[in-house]
């Protein structure tokens, strides 16, 4: 978020929103949320204000479901 904010101020090539969401989905959602409010970047975009917390919720739900599933996962 900080890098994209810096690029926005310099009118440089921006990071696509799809890329920011992709990094959030593969595990950077909490960092994205912290970066949004630290750098005040994308905080007015409804897709980010709602989407990132939904991704975090889905990731937490996925982890909880893995923990309570009858399958044995050695990494948990």
Query: Are residues 63 and 29 in contact, defined by beta-carbon separation less than 8 angstroms?
Result: no
Indicate whether 72 pLDDT > 80. no
pLDDT tens digits for range 10-49 = 999 999 999 999 999 999 999 999 999 999 999 999 999 9
47/32 Cα distance (integer angstroms): 13
State mean pLDDT over 48-63: 96
62/24 Cα distance (integer angstroms): 15
* Cβ-based neighbour number of residue 52 at 10 Å: 24
Indicate whether 70 pLDDT > 90. no
Indicate whether 76 pLDDT > 60. no
pLDDT in the model for residue 66 = 85
Indicate whether 61 pLDDT > 80. yes
């Amino acid at each position: 978020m900080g890098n994209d904010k810096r690029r926005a101020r310099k009118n440089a090539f921006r990071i696509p929103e799809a890329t920011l969401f992709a990094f959030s989905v593969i595990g950077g959602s909490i960092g994205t949320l912290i970066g949004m409010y630290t750098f005040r970047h994308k905080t007015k975009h409804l897709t980010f204000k709602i989407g990132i917390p939904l991704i975090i919720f889905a990731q937490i739900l996925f982890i909880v479901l893995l923990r309570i599933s009858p399958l044995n996962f050695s990494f948990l």
